[in-house]
Structure 1
Amino acid sequence: MRLIFMGSPDFSVPALHGLIKAGHEVVAVYTQPPRPAGRGKALRRQPVHEAADALSIPVRTPEKLRHNEEELAFFQGLNADAAIVAAYGLILPEAILNAPRLGCLNIHASLLPRWRGASPIQSAIRAGDAESGVCIMQMDKGLDTGAVILSEATPITATDTAGSLHDRLADIGARLIVRALKDQPTPIPQDDSRSCYAPRLERKDGQIDWNRSAVEIERQVRAFIPWPGSYTLLEGQTYRIGAVSLPDGAEATALMASAPTPGTVLDDKLTIACGTGCLQIDRIQKPGRAMMDRDAFLRGTRLTKGMRLD
């Protein structure tokens, strides 16, 4: 088929390669413009931009598509059979959605309608979902509301982070979009009553609320690796948390027997009281230092029983 590909981050790259390998003609790639990144704030191109260049595919980087008549005319002039969208980052106006012969197909990292929105991977882990997956969706003008063409599930393990689940779902999406174009199954409308919203995340969302249960906080830490990360405050300084674990039931019960205030350090092993239960910090990063294991951190930092994390 003659395709337009629209994507930006690492998640999108396997799908682009998969479509080329399957023999489809990708006539143009749309991606977000280069953005300032790193300490020097030099402009950095999106991963899909780099991949498209390596494949010698023309790249378009419009700042917007809404009310952009010039870009709309160019898009329509490509005479594509379909546009494949994977974490592109711009809302597509109705004229764009309707331009390709088969419309626009979205690779969405959730078992729709479970998580609609910008952070479905993090939201699934944080909520304690047993599984996640990928849906190929026929896009409409709503937010991830289109009919589902194909889906495939994968279990969420007790050790999964957003990073590990992201990589698995990206590979599933690459396989699934090729199959969707080949088989063209009948789209099935979503049940809107079962949908949840996965909001766009910011760095400030990573602050740990110690009033939450230990189970919820442990899920948050895994869900926010690598982005936006989790952190806590100690004496006004920010400490990033890289990994936590839950003590066994008997140990947790003994440590919580005195009903300590959430955020209290319970022992000399970085066990912290939570709203319900407690957890142990396994990896932590102090300001200006690298992430380190608990033992290495405690050798250089005095953190005594009874101190409070915020």
Structure 2
Amino acid sequence: MKLAFMGSPDFSVPALQALVKAGHEVAVVYAQPPKPAGRGQKEQKCPVHQAAEALGLPVRTPAKLRGNAEELAFFQSLGLDAAVVAAYGLILPQAFLNAPKRGCLNIHASLLPRWRGAGPIQAAIAEGDVETGITIMQMEAGLDTGPMLRRGALPIGTHDTAADLHDSLAGIGAKLILAELAQPSEPVVQNEALANYAPKLSREDARLNFTLPAVVLERRIRAFTPWPGALGLLGDMVIKILAAEVVPGEGVPGEIIDDKFTIACGEGALRPTRLQRAGKAAMSTADFLRGFTLPEGARFY
């Protein structure tokens, strides 16, 4: 098939590579424009852009599609059988959705309609879902509202982080899109009553609120790994909690209630097992405590 591929982050790369390996003609790859990154703020190409160039594929990086008549004319001129979209980052206007013969097929990291939006992997962990998955969806104008074509489920383990699920789901998505292109499925309309919105996370989401139950905070720590992380402020020291366990305990929310660094929460207590101070290497809590004396009455705010 003659395809366009539209994606940007690491999540999208396995699908692009699988399409090429399967023999599909990827006529063009669309990705987010290069952005300044690192200490020198040098422009850096996104993972899909880099992968496409390694595969010898042409890449286009328009800053916008809405109102971009020149880009639409080019897209329509390709005579595409389908466009495959995976975390591209730009909204596709209706004219783009209509251009390929089979329309635009989206690889979405949720068992729709459970989580729509930009943060479905994190939301599934944070809300205590027992499973997540991939949905191949026929795109329409609404946000992740289109008919479902294929779904593949993945259990969420009690220690799984967003990083763990990300890699597994990317592989499932690559397999499902190949299957859908080879044998089209009958579309299934989503049940709107079951839909939830998972917004894109920001740095502000990293701050832990210890008035919440410990079980909720433990899930958020896993959901926010690797980004935006889970942070607490102990005095003037920012501490990133990389892993933790829920344990019995009570006290003022945020208070460290024993010499094992156990933190009282709104319900129960949280015991970090791996920590990182700003500018320092990650370490176990035991190693952290060997080099740091907790002041009496220490409390996270």
Q: Which residue identity is paired with 1:67?
A: G
Q: Following the alignment from structure 2 to structure 1, what is the Cα–Cα distance between the partners of residues 3 and 231?
A: 42
Q: How does 1:160-171 map to 2 (within 5 A)?
A: 160-171=160-171
Match of 1:212 in 2: 212
- 3-state SS in 2 of match to 1:198: coil
Q: Following the alignment from structure 1 to structure 2, what is the Cα–Cα distance between the partners of residues 167 and 245?
A: 23
Q: Which residue identity is paired with 2:290?
A: R
Q: Following the alignment from structure 2 to structure 1, what is the Cα–Cα distance between the partners of residues 33 and 293?
A: 46
- 3-state SS in 2 of match to 1:28: strand
The two structures, once aligned, show a CA RMSD in angstroms of: 0.9
Deviations 1:75-97 (A, max 9, x none): 11111000000000000000000
Match of 2:149 in 1: 149
**What displacement does 1:288 show?**
2.1
1:266–1:305 CA contact under 8 A, matched in 2: no
- 3-state SS in 2 of match to 1:175: helix
Q: Aligned residues, how many?
A: 301
Deviations 1:135-179 (A, max 9, x none): 000000000000000001010000100000000000000000000
Match of 1:14 in 2: 14
The TM-score normalised by the length of structure 1 is: 0.96
**What displacement does 1:20 show?**
1.1
Q: How does 1:131-280 map to 2 (within 5 A)?
A: 131-247=131-247, 252=248, 255-256=249-250, 260-280=251-271
**What displacement does 1:41 show?**
1.3
- 3-state SS in 2 of match to 1:53: helix
Q: Following the alignment from structure 1 to structure 2, what is the Cα–Cα distance between the partners of residues 40 and 156?
A: 38
Q: Following the alignment from structure 2 to structure 1, what is the Cα–Cα distance between the partners of residues 76 and 195?
A: 32
| Unpaired stretches in structure 2, ≥5 consecutive residues | none
Match of 1:291 in 2: 282
Q: Following the alignment from structure 2 to structure 1, what is the Cα–Cα distance between the partners of residues 202 and 58?
A: 32
Match of 1:109 in 2: 109
Q: Following the alignment from structure 2 to structure 1, what is the Cα–Cα distance between the partners of residues 71 and 23?
A: 27
Deviations 1:8-47 (A, max 9, x none): 0000000001111111100000000111111221111111
Q: Which residue identity is paired with 1:204?
A: E
1:267–1:304 CA contact under 8 A, matched in 2: no
Q: Which residue identity is paired with 1:167?
A: D
Q: Once superposed, which parts of structure 1, at least 4 consecutive aligned residues long, lie more than 4 Å away?
A: none
**What displacement does 1:305 show?**
5.1
More displaced stretch, 89-98 vs 15-24: 15-24
Deviations 1:182-228 (A, max 9, x none): 11011101001100000010011010000000100000000000111
1:306 equivalent in alignment to 2:300? no
The TM-score normalised by the length of structure 2 is: 0.98
Q: Which residue identity is paired with 1:265?
A: I
- 3-state SS in 1 of match to 2:173: helix
| Unpaired stretches in structure 1, ≥5 consecutive residues | none
